[in-house]
Every structure is written in structure tokens, then in C-alpha cells.
């Protein structure tokens, strides 16, 4: 617990709003991304509390339906929101146009409440077809620019070509995979936190 002693400053509340990649599908309760991210931020002396609002199987439409409820049920507005959705839209072949509209509504809700945001991008595989791939992949950087959100270009990137970091379902990261994803994104999250 040595890292805990160095934690200082006001508590920074971070909302991790996403799907099974945040919910920690197939992992122990302390092995999910929000839990590991909180530990990584605290190891840097940031008094972070990450609220895990990941729902396995959630699509961008599901996220759009629940974002206001999730924010309203928090004690106070988060200092930062992490938005990670789109993977399930991709798996189901749902329209990138609709996914984009849903993500835009989520980002708009957060912006209207003055909550800075990090948008976690996904990428469509080539077998989705060039048009789908182009539309899907482009929506994350475009939305990040439009809503002044920080961007993690491709959340799954640390797992590419490393099957040992992926569970047997070939979709979800192992605990070691989560560690790699945290290591690749903790700088972006720390950098997006507003000043005390």
C-alpha cells in the first residue's frame, strides 16, 4: 500500500461509461479496466476514484438511453468521463451513422453538464467492408474534435498480435491485457483531468 501514502489533493471522480471492456467481462472484480486505471492513477499520486458504469453487451444506443440516468444518480458530477462504446455495434453490424448519432448525443449530454471527456475509439476489421470500416473508424476522431474530447484512437491496440492477452472468446482482454490497456491509456486520462 506504499503508493496510497503518496496520494494527495482533492478526490477526482472519474466515470468509466462503456461496455464489457469496462465492465471487466470474464475477470475478477478487481481486474477490470476502471479498477486497474484507478490504481495506476493513485500510484501517480492522483486521488482518483473511478466509478465503473460498464454494461456488458451495451451498444451506443443503450449508452445513449442511460447516460443521463447514470449522471443523475452520481453524488456529484464527475471531474472526467471516459466513454467507451461502439464495439457491440460493430459486432452486430449496426449502422455507423446511428452509432455516430448515439455517441454524439452522449458527448453532448456530458458537454452540457460541463464534464470533460475522453473518447475511446474502436476500429472496424477489414471484413466489415471498406465503406463500413471507413465510416466507423472516422467517427471517433471526428466526434472528439467536434465535442472537444480527448481521444484514445484505438483502445484495443495494445492487444494486437498478442493472443496471450485475449480471452478464449477472442474478443475480451485477460487481466494481463487490461494491464497493457491501462499502461497505454493512463497518460491520456491523467492529462485530461482538469486542474485542481
Catalytic residue flag (residue 172): yes
Catalytic residue among 8, 72, 169, 196: 169
Q: What span, in angstroms and rounded, lies between the C-alpha atoms of 9 and 186?
A: 18
Please give the C-alpha separations between residue 101 and each of 1, 29, 98, 116, 183, in angstroms, as whole numbers.
Answer: 43, 32, 5, 19, 30
Q: What span, in angstroms and rounded, lies between the C-alpha atoms of 187 and 139?
A: 23
Q: What span, in angstroms and rounded, lies between the C-alpha atoms of 74 and 13?
A: 10
Phi, psi of 148 (to 5 degrees): 55, 45
Catalytic residue flag (residue 169): yes
Catalytic residue among 20, 52, 89, 137: 20
Q: What span, in angstroms and rounded, lies between the C-alpha atoms of 27 and 31?
A: 6
Residue 68: CB partners within 8 Å, gap ≥ 6? 109
Structure-block grid coordinates of residue 16: 468509466
Catalytic residue among 52, 58, 79, 172: 172
Catalytic residue flag (residue 79): no
Residues acting as catalytic residues: 20, 169, 172
Amino acid at each position: 500500500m506504499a503508493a496510497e501514502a503518496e496520494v494527495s489533493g482533492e478526490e477526482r471522480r472519474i466515470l468509466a461509461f462503456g461496455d464489457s471492456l469496462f465492465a471487466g467481462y470474464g475477470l475478477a472484480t478487481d481486474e477490470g479496466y476502471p479498477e486497474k486505471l484507478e490504481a495506476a492513477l493513485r500510484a501517480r499520486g492522483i486521488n482518483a476514484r473511478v466509478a465503473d458504469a460498464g454494461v456488458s453487451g451495451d451498444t451506443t444506443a443503450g449508452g445513449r438511453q442511460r447516460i443521463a440516468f447514470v449522471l443523475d444518480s452520481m453524488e456529484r458530477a464527475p471531474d472526467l468521463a471516459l466513454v467507451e462504446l461502439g464495439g457491440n455495434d460493430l459486432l452486430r453490424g449496426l449502422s455507423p451513422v446511428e452509432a455516430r448519432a448515439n455517441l454524439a448525443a452522449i458527448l453532448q449530454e456530458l458537454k452540457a453538464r460541463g464534464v470533460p471527456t475522453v473518447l475511446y475509439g474502436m476500429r472496424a476489421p477489414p471484413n466489415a467492408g471498406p465503406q463500413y470500416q471507413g465510416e466507423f473508424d472516422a467517427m471517433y476522431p471526428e466526434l472528439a474534435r467536434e465535442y472537444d474530447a480527448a481521444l484514445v484512437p484505438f483502445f484495443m491496440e495494445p492487444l494486437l498480435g498478442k493472443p496471450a492477452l485475449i480471452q478464449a472468446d477472442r474478443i475480451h482482454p485477460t487481466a494481463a491485457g487490461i494491464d497493457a490497456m491501462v499502461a497505454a491509456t493512463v497518460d491520456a486520462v491523467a492529462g485530461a483531468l482538469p486542474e485542481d
